[in-house]
Amino acid sequence: MHLTIDEVRHVAELARLRLSEAELTLYAEQLSAILDYAETLQQVDTSHVPPTPYVLPLHNVMAEDTPVPSLPNAVALANAPDQADGFFRVRAVFED
């Protein structure tokens, strides 16, 4: 299979990645090659095989519902590129 530049552009938009035209071209080629390789899986009969999302026999692990200390506000914000009044600051989500 061969991914088109437009398909790669669409995936980049889903992934919130700005890619240059050169990157789009390169990834179209490389992802196509990797997906071709992955096509070998289609030959495997998995009609009665359950998926393995993870390997442990643990399910619905619960914790005691007791309050424990959390990061102080200033520490949680210490790595923020932008902050104001104890909050992360971002550009407006809604335009006027």
Q: Which amino acid is at 20?
A: S
Give the span between the Cα atoms of 63 and 65, in whole angstroms.
6
Select the residue interacting with another protein from 69, 79, 84, 85 (CB under 8 A): 79
Contact between 80 and 88 under an 8 Å Cβ cutoff? The reply is: yes
Facing residues of 88 across strands?
83
**H runs (alpha helix) in the chain:** 5-14, 21-38, 73-77
Instruction: Report the site for another protein in 29-48 (rule: CB under 8 A).
Output: 30-31, 33-35, 37-38, 40-42, 44, 46
Work out how close the CB of 78 gets to another protein at its nearest, in angstroms, rounded to a whole number: 6
Residues binding another protein (CB under 8 A)? 3, 8, 11-12, 14-19, 23, 27, 30-31, 33-35, 37-38, 40-42, 44, 46, 49-56, 58, 61, 63, 71, 75-76, 78-82, 88, 90-93
